[in-house]
Structure formats: C-alpha cells, structure tokens
Amino acid sequence: MRRGETLTDEHHRQLAEWAALCAEHILHPFEQEQPRDTRPRDAIDIGRSWIRGEVRMRDAHQAAFVANAAAHGLPDPAKFAALAAGQAVAVAHVIAHDLAAAAYAIRAVFASAFASEAESARVRERDWQRERIPTEGSRAGP
C-alpha cells in the first residue's frame, strides 16, 4: 500500500518500467544535443536497476535530480527528453512521476516536430505510450 492506495509492489515496478520505456523512446533529442552526457540514460538504467531490486529507492530518487540537471539550458526537445528520464527514475520514489515522464516525452516529441506536424507527432507518441501501458497480468522488465 502506498499513500492509502492499493498499489502492489509488482504494479509499482510495472509502472516504473512503462515510464522508463516512455523516456527511453524519446531520449534521442537529448543524446543528439549532448552526445557525451549520459546522465539521462544512466537515470533510466538506474530506474530499471531499482525495478530489479538492485538499487535502493533513495539512490533512484537521487538519480532523478542528476537527470533533471542535465536539462538546464538546452533546447526544448533535449530538455524535455532529459526531464522525462528524471521523472521516470523518480517513479521509484513516487508513482505519480510515471505520468510526468509520459507527459515530458510527449512534450519532447511535440517540440521536435515541424509546426505543421507537431500535433500529429504528439498524438502518435501518446498512442505509442497507451499501447504499452501495463495491463493486468503483464510483467515488468525491459
């Protein structure tokens, strides 16, 4: 139980993996802008390590701050990609960060697209995310 809800540990891990997938799916704008900066990718990896029980929640939570710091001063697509990674790893601490990771991923895609294609890009990303939302019986893991 978390904050009065009936969220099992397995469901928490599934949503953490979904957030990691959302962030990883759109990480390329950041990696193109900052090819030597691995902080957002590392944060996603740390989130997955938390899912497997290899990293403490406190360490995953700290990785969120590191990924978020990578976003400072960057163009919107790269900034939102880094923030998506930070939110994804923060799911270990607070589950509601899963939706923030997905929202930043959509913002990264929208900001990356030409103005005439931005709305359709946003909808495609949203639909891609929805297709991957964990369902009853699905398993967490990359």
- Evaluate whether 100 touches 130 at the Cβ level (below 8 Å): no
Identify whether 87 is part of a domain.
yes
Within-domain flag for 15: yes
- 50 within a domain of the structure (yes/no): yes
The DSSP-derived string for 49-107 is: HHHTT-S-HHHHHHHHHHHHHHTTT--HHHHHHHHHHHHHHHTTT-TTHHHHHHHHHHH
Count of structural domains within the chain: 1
Asked whether residue 141 is domain-assigned, the answer is no
Is residue 80 a part of any domain in this protein?
yes
pTM here is: 0.91
> Using CA atoms, how far apart are residues 124 and 139, in angstroms rounded to an integer?
24
User: For 42-66, how does the pLDDT look when each residue is reduced to its tens digit (9 = 90+)?
Assistant: 999 999 999 999 999 999 999 999 9
Residue 136 has pLDDT above 80, yes or no: no
pLDDT at 141: 44
Domain ranges, residue 87? 9-131
